């Protein structure tokens, strides 16, 4: 059964590559301590030693052939990319098949109201839920699967909302200004560790979606600011945000929205597509995990199976008390051909377990809600108190990764897993 599902997946994937693309994996690599520096082109000074001159010549030679041979991607697309600056081994980057923006990002998104979107979205369908300054938006995965990137402005803030189907990572970032220009992002057509490699159109630097870090080009080492975004069901989003907006299915592109081109990809007994690295054996590579990383570099990951069983996990990350919620009712976008018919994997929320100076601990309350033991208030999946003493209070959301174990353990390391 697994072999037949995988074969079917590969056939579909081959067709998709020629139209709007998917990808392949690369080997895990070690980040260098610092990005390579600009090549020194001026003549050696009179006081320069022979050793320093040799180092300069070696640096110049390395920049003449920065790939040390033939790369696993086509550099001819990239006239403006400074390949002399990079923080990862080029052997770890591999072409997924399409050219830049062969998977077309959405640069001028339009939005619908809840009522009109309800005509084409099923309650169990997964959407990326995102809110800034009271502006709540849903980005359905039936659209994001075919585009992967939306350059947007939400609550007056320029943002980029992303989804990598091969990693099941839905992440949002601030879009910064560089030298007075606001960055816009596209799909490079390349992957690293099966994760989407984005590029910005202003400098043609390349960015790792999983980490939000520039890994190739002039901006190498620059870090995008994560913003809280998570996959939720359409029903939960519209119930919580009845005045919210929904990314319109009228994108200007002809895509088979609602169909999953990655049928059977998230089978826990399968392998990540064309991933060539070593995966930590604490969990199967395709096991789903919830991963959290703070600004101090401290991290936690939890098998989704544990989160589903307990429904609430109270923990600490460094000095910060945190809580992980899980609620049933969200379909996998990577299971069956029709997304609404996908396996019910549920959805998560990760929050700071504190209101003001008061720390809170939580337990499940029924199937849909949670209760803090300190005040008995009732909370929903979005971290809002809906009843009780703290009604109206909002827990601070924490950016997190809902992803596969092979992704988290490769990029972040396996040592933080809380089984």
Q: Work out the mean pLDDT of the chain and round it to a whole number.
A: 88
| Domain assignment of residue 344, given as a range | 111-175+224-411
Structure tokens, 87: 């923080």
Q: What is the pLDDT of residue 16?
A: 41
Rounded CA separation 162/149 (Å): 5
Assigned domain for 253 exists: yes
Assigned domain for 58 exists: no
Q: What is the pLDDT of residue 26?
A: 34
Rounded CA separation 338/342 (Å): 7
Q: What is the pLDDT of residue 61?
A: 54
Sign of CA dihedral 82, 88, 94, 98: negative
pLDDT at position 301 over 50: yes
Contact partners, residue 1, CB within 8 Å, separation at least 6:
none
Rounded CA separation 206/218 (Å): 9
pLDDT at position 312 over 90: yes
Rounded CA separation 170/159 (Å): 13
Across the range 123-139, mean pLDDT stands at 97
Across the range 40-50, mean pLDDT stands at 42
Assigned domain for 215 exists: no
pLDDT at position 31 over 80: no
pLDDT at position 5 over 90: no
Assigned domain for 56 exists: no
Q: Work out the pLDDT band at 307, boundaries 50, 70, 90.
A: very high
Q: Work out the pLDDT band at 63, boundaries 50, 70, 90.
A: confident
What is the CB neighbour count within 10 angstroms for residue 330? 27
Q: Indicate the number of domains in the chain.
A: 1
Burial class of residue 276 in the structure, from the number of CB atoms within 10 Å of its CB (0-12 exposed, 13-18 middle, 19+ buried): middle
Across the range 6-25, mean pLDDT stands at 39
Give me the residue label for tokens 């006239």.
Answer: 79
Assigned domain for 338 exists: yes
Assigned domain for 418 exists: no
Give me the residue label for tokens 């009109």.
Answer: 116
Assigned domain for 18 exists: no
Rounded CA separation 220/224 (Å): 11
Indicate the range of 28-42, 82-96, 357-371 predicted with least confidence. Answer: 28-42
Compute the half-sphere exposure of residue 109: CA atoms within 13 Å on the CB side of its CA. Answer: 28
Length reported for the chain: 419
Q: Work out the pLDDT band at 139, boundaries 50, 70, 90.
A: very high
Rounded CA separation 40/34 (Å): 17
Q: Work out the pLDDT band at 177, boundaries 50, 70, 90.
A: very high
- From residue 379, give the alpha-carbon distance in Å to each of 327, 349, 382: 12, 11, 8
Q: What is the pLDDT of residue 129?
A: 98
pTM given for the model: 0.86
Q: Which has more confidence, 8 or 315?
A: 315
Highest mean pLDDT among 22-36, 64-78, 174-188: 174-188
Indicate the range of 30-34, 158-162, 208-212, 303-307 predicted with least confidence. Answer: 30-34
Q: What is the pLDDT of residue 297?
A: 86
Q: Work out the pLDDT band at 51, boundaries 50, 70, 90.
A: low
Q: Are 164 and 334 in contact (CB under 8 A)?
A: no
pLDDT at position 17 over 90: no
Assigned domain for 288 exists: yes
Rounded CA separation 32/169 (Å): 24
Nearest to 322 by CA among 341, 300, 307, 343: 300
Q: Work out the pLDDT band at 320, boundaries 50, 70, 90.
A: very high
pLDDT at position 55 over 60: no
Q: What is the pLDDT of residue 50?
A: 52
């Amino acid at each position: 059964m697994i072999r037949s599902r995988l074969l079917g997946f590969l056939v579909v994937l081959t067709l998709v590559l020629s139209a709007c693309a998917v990808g392949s994996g690369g080997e895990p690599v070690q980040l260098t301590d610092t990005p390579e520096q600009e090549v020194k082109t001026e003549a050696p000074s009179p006081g320069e030693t022979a050793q320093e001159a040799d180092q300069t010549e070696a640096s110049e030679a390395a920049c003449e052939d920065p790939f040390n041979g033939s790369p696993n991607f086509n550099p001819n697309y990239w006239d403006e990319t400074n390949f002399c600056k990079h923080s990862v081994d080029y052997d770890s980057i591999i072409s997924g098949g399409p050219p830049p923006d062969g998977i077309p990002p959405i640069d001028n998104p339009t939005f619908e109201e809840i009522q009109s979107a309800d005509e084409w979205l099923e309650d169990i369908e997964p959407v990326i839920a995102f809110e800034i300054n009271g502006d709540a938006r849903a980005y359905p995965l039936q659209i994001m699967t075919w585009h992967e990137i939306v350059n947007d402005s939400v609550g007056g803030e320029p943002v980029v909302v992303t989804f990598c189907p091969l990693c099941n990572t839905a992440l949002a970032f601030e879009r910064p200004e560089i030298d007075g220009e606001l960055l816009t992002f596209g799909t490079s057509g390349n992957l690293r560790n099966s994760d989407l490699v984005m590029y910005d159109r202003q400098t043609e630097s390349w960015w790792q979606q999983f980490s939000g870090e520039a890994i190739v080009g002039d901006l190498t080492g620059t870090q995008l600011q994560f913003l809280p975004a998570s996959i939720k069901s359409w029903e939960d989003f519209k119930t919580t945000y009845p005045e919210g907006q929904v990314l319109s299915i009228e994108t200007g592109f002809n895509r088979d929205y609602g169909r999953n081109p990655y049928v059977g990809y998230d089978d826990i007994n399968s392998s990540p597509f064309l991933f060539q690295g070593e995966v930590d054996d604490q969990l199967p590579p395709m096991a789903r995990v919830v991963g959290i990383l703070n600004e101090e570099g401290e991290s936690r990951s939890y098998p989704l199976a544990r989160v589903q069983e307990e429904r609430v996990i109270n923990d600490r990350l460094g000095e910060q008390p945190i809580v992980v919620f899980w609620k049933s009712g969200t379909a996998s976008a990577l299971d069956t051909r029709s997304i609404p018919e996908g396996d019910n994997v549920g959805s998560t929320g990760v929050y700071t377990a504190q209101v003001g100076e008061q720390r809170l601990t939580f337990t499940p309350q029924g199937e849909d809600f949670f209760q803090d033991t300190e005040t008995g208030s009732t909370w929903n999946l979005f971290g809002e108190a809906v009843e009780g003493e703290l009604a109206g209070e909002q827990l601070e959301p924490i950016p997190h990764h809902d992803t596969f174990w092979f992704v988290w353990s490769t990029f972040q390391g396996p040592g933080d897993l809380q089984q």
